[in-house]
Each structure stands twice: as structure tokens, then as C-alpha cells.
A and B are shown apart, each in its own frame.
Chain A
Amino acid sequence: MIVSIIIRTLTRGGVYALLASGMSLIFGVAHIVNLAHTAFFMVAAYGVWFLVRQQGWGVIQSIIVTVLAVTLLGVLVYRFLINRVRHHPQAVLLITIALAMLLQEVMLLRFGSHFQTLPVLIEGSHRIWGTVITNQHLLILGAVAVVMVLMWLLLSKTKLGIAIRATAQDGEIANLMGMSSARVLTITMAIGTALAAVAAVLLPRGYVFHPHIWMSPLTMVLAIVILGGLGSIKGSVVGAFILALAETIVVFRWPQHGYMSLAFALLTMIIILAVRPGGLFGTVFEEERL
């Protein structure tokens, strides 16, 4: 029981952490609340499913192709839609939600509203302290850890990472110092979307998806990002595991009320916000305080 709870928390939390850190990165650098983020996640899940189940490609090739294609889609959307209204926060919220609905409708028309599952990457399972753990779960844990370490290395050690962090602190000054702000923002959007796509291809076995699947993860991811503080990647990783644990405990303790887990996560978010308006690790600027 305890081991199952831990494993479920870690795998769910890992997927949420990938989604939330991408969203948080985009907000922190470009100040865009990208509500279409989980729609890219949904599109990526369909991409892999389409290539493997309908075109008969190998799993690895289709994952690579899908992640690249979705990243390209994210960059195109950023350049041609979001970038034009970037300075009006309300317009950004609306255009991204409209985009998410657009993607949902396209997927509905192309693939119908049936429930689908992704093929597993590796079969087999282990027994750890009397609990069966599939290799897919172990793979998810490993992959999430690798992606997170890569992200950390990218942001703290490379020149690009320094440029991204400088743009996050002050876009105008960074632009004056010779880092093309437009290019940094595009790259950030690409990284964020790629993280969403990776989260989709790592889905655990039995995770069903359909064209409407972006809505409930979106609420969850928003709760996580707000819990951790918008723009803080550390905060979103911590928030992801906290809310995944809360969700898992609800699911295991009251299985018949599994649908309440989202409400529980939202309640956690509301309480945290009432106590700390900037989230756990977020910054509330002095000049904005009233």
C-alpha cells in the first residue's frame, strides 16, 4: 500500500512536474500564461498514438518525430499568434484558450472522441517489497529525473541558459546587452512545448486520453504552478509532487470518490493562495504590493 502510493505519487508527480515546469518557464521568461500548454500535451499523445497504432512506425522513431513536430507547432504558434498580442495579458489568455479549443476540435474531427491509450515502451515488471511495479513506471522515474537534470544544466551552465535567465529578469536590458529577446523567447517557448510533449510520451500505462483531456490536466497544472509560484521552476517541481501526493491519497483512501481529487488539489491551491498570494516560491514585487 505505502509502496504503491509512493510509486504512483512519483510517476504522476513526474509527469505533472514536466508539464508544470514548462508552463512556469514560459511564464517566467515571456510573461505568457499559456493555457494551450496541455493542449500540446494532448496533441503529442495523439501524435505518438497515430504513428505507432495507425502507421505502424517503431515506438522510438515516432516519439522523436512527435516531440520535434509538436515543438515546431509550439514555435509557429508563438511566432504567428501569441507574439502579436504578447503585451496584452488578457488577449494572451484568450488566444491561448481559443487555440486549445481549436486543437481539441481538430483532434475530434480527425480521430473522434474515443478513449485511447499509448503503447508501453518496455514490458515486464519487478517486485519490490511485495508490490508489483511495471518497468514503464521505473522508466518514467528515470526519464523525468534525466530531463530535470538536463533542464537544470541548461539553465545554469550554458550561455543560452544565462541568456534565458537574464531575459526573465529584465527583457529590455537583456536585449540591450546583445541577447536577441525575440530569439530567446522563441527558444523558451520551444523548450516549454518540448517538455509538454515529453510528458505526453511518458504517460503511464492505462492513462486514457481523448480530445478533451487537456482540460483537467490544465486545471491541475495551473494549481501546481500557482502553488509553487508562477515563474519558479523549483516551485513547480515541489508543487507537482505535493499535489500528486494529495491526489494519490484521495484516490487510494476513497476510491469511490476519485473524481474529488481535482477538487482537493484546487482546495489546496486556494488555501495556499489565501495565505501566500505569491505561491510558495513566487516573488511578490514590492512596488506591486498595496
Chain B
Amino acid sequence: MLKRLFTDFRWGVLPVPGRVLAVIFFLFLFVFPLITDASYPLLIITLACIYAIFAVSWDVLSGYTGLINFGHALFFGIGAYGSALLYKYVGWPPQVTIVIGAIVAAGLGVLLCLPALRLRGPYLSLFTLGLPLLLREVVRAFPEVTGGYIGITGLPRLVGTTIGDYYAVLLVMLVSVLIMWKLTDARSRYVRTGLIFHAIREDEITARAAGINTIRYKMLAFAIGGFFAGIAGGLFGHVLTVVGFGVFAITMSFQVIIFVVFGGIVSIYGPVVGTFILYPLVELLQGTHIEEYRHLIMAGVVILVLLFMPEGLAVRIREKIERQCPRCKLTNVAWRRECRACTASLR
């Protein structure tokens, strides 16, 4: 068992620079509390982990299937409020309420996509843009239940200490991203959802002609995206110990899209990279003398990335350092002359 793991690592990870970078990155996240145990940097990384789950879930729903959802904050907000309300009125612990909140978000995702399945292109995007705003007004309209402007305060922490919360969120992030990565892997031999999502984005009519029930898979995409966004929302509420109706704001929906597009759409690692670069950057600028320019800088960065590398930063870097063998489709380091397995020329 251990030997097999070692061989996998030796031949599956070490020769592929992208995977080496990913492993180094996660090792760094695991030892980060040893470098500093000040609560502010830890909180930023914790929130970055939460936003990474949120961003990857948007990528699974919108990047892979092409159903561009402009109101992803809906699922995030339902997860946050669902878990907070369950704690407030039933008193269950956060581990239970977060999962239930996420299931509610997923169920609502399936329910809402029923009308959305009739819409295409921009109509779908704009329809979904309206939904979280509508829910925000509902939250404001029943202040006795939802706390109105103040929101729901006094939620319990996940573990109790800052470092405990950090590791809990980091683990949830790792597991969620791994699950979503496996579900959308087009070359997987075990699940075919990845291949089908790609087919729906490329050409839905052909996918239907090939005998795929596209409606069912679109609903599945909404359920997966909604579930993990709901998890992120629930974690968000319990890390900050307060849930306000700001979780339904337009900026919440757009921020996540900006993270994904910056890192690289239709790649699970792109959103993670985008979130871990942009979110700490924005937070670090806070309190410095250029604080008031930070949103300006962020908007400018997005415009420049879209103009000069529309495929995203992480995808661009990966293309630079990796090359696929034309014969056996194995990934190689870009500076090798011949493939490491079949010795086909890479030049």
C-alpha cells in the first residue's frame, strides 16, 4: 500500500511540474501556522480557502457546462443562512447544520434550474443574476426571523481556536476540491460526468443526439455547484460567527467569477490559484496608503488579464511548463526533448 503510494508519487507527481507545484502549495498551507500564528493572516488564508471552494463550485457549474451563472451568491447565501437559522432555532452543532444547509442549497439549485433550463445564453445569466437579489429582499422583509439588517450573530466557531478553524477549513477545502476535480475529470475511467459536461458546453444538440439526457446532467451540475457553494457559505458564517444579508450581494457573485477568470476557467486548479492570489492581495492592500485604490487595481487587473491572456493566469503558466506527448498523451516537462515514456520527439 505504502509502496504503491510511493511509486504513484515517484512516476505520477514528480515528473509533472504542475502537480509538484500543487503539492508544494498544499504543504505550504499545512505548515503556514508554524510560520506565523497571528490571527489576522490565518483568518485571511481561512477565508481564501472558503472562497476557493466557492470559486471551484462556480467553475464546475458554469465553466464546465457553459451555463454562466451570475447569481452564485444565491447558493452561498442559502448555505450560510440555512446553517445559521438551524443553529438559532434548533441548536444543532455546526458540523451538522453546514451539511444540511448545503443540501438545502443543492435542492434549491435543482428546483431553480427547472425554469432556467428553458433559457439560453445571456437570458440564463441575467435570470440567475436576479435570484440572490430577490432573496436578499426576502431576508430584509422578515427581520424577526432573519435578523434583518443586523443579521444572525453569535454563531459558534467550527473548532473554537483560530488554528483549529484554519485546519478544519483547509481539510474541507482539500476534500471538496478533490471531489469536484474527480467529478469533472474528462479522462476518468470511473465517472463520465466530466466528459458529458464538456460535451454539453461544446455542443448540446450533438450531445443529445448521442443519447445523453442533457437535462438530467444540467440538473446534476446545478446540484453539485449548489452543494459546494452551500458548504462554503456555511463555513463562512461559522468562521466569522455572523451572517448578514451581504452574502447575497451582487459583488459576492461577481467576485467569484473574477477569481475564476483570473486563474483560468474550465480548470479546477485555475480558480484555486486565482483565489489565493487575488483575495490575499486585496486584503493586504487594506490599511496601506493605496487602500482606496484596491478595487480600482482589481478591476484593472481583470481587464488586462482578459485582454492579454483570456485563458487565465494558471492555465497560461501550465502551458509554459508542461507539454503533452503527441503520441501517448502523457504530460512532460516542457524542456524535455523526448517523451519520458515512449521517447517520441516533443519538438
Contact = CB atoms under 8 A, between A and B. Distances in A.
Nearest to A269: B130
A88 B214 CA distance: 23
B257 interface: yes
Contacts of A223: 130
A222 B296 CA distance: 24
Contacts of B202: none
B133 interface: yes
Interface residues of A, number: 44
Interface string B115-131: 10011111101110111
A94 B115 contact: no
Nearest to B308: A84
Contact of A91 (B258, B298, B310): B310
Interface in A243-272: 257, 259-260, 262-263, 266-267, 269-270
B307 A230 contact: no
B254 interface: yes
Q: How large is the interface on B (under 10, 10 to 19, 20 to 34, 35 or more residues)?
A: 35 or more
A266 B121 contact: no
A155 interface: no
A105 B299 CA distance: 9
B115 A273 contact: yes
A288 B208 CA distance: 13
A97 interface: yes
B133 A85 contact: no
A91 B306 contact: yes
Nearest to B214: A290
A135 B257 CA distance: 45
A5 to B, nearest CB: 22
B133 A81 contact: no
A104 B300 CA distance: 12
B310 A288 contact: no
B265 A90 contact: yes
A266 B306 contact: no
A101 interface: yes
B310 A88 contact: yes
Interface string B284-315: 00000000110110111011001100100000
A218 B130 CA distance: 11
Contacts of A257: 141
B319 interface: no
A94 B257 contact: yes
A230 B123 contact: yes
Contacts of B121: 89
20 contacts: A81-B307, A84-B307, A85-B306, A90-B68, A90-B265, A94-B261, A94-B306, A95-B307, A98-B300, A98-B302, A102-B296, A109-B292, A109-B293, A215-B250, A219-B133, A259-B140, A262-B133, A267-B134, A270-B131, A290-B208
Interface of A: 27, 33, 81, 84-85, 88-91, 93-95, 97-99, 101-102, 104-106, 108-109, 215, 219, 222-223, 226, 230, 257, 259-260, 262-263, 266-267, 269-270, 273-274, 277-279, 288, 290
Given A89-B122, A94-B302, A273-B119, 18 more contacts: A89-B121, A91-B306, A93-B122, A95-B302, A98-B303, A98-B306, A102-B300, A105-B293, A108-B292, A222-B126, A226-B123, A226-B127, A259-B140, A260-B137, A263-B133, A274-B118, A277-B119, A290-B214
User: What are the nearest 8 A-B pairs in CB distance?
Assistant: A263-B137, A105-B296, A266-B130, A102-B299, A98-B302, A101-B299, A274-B115, A277-B118
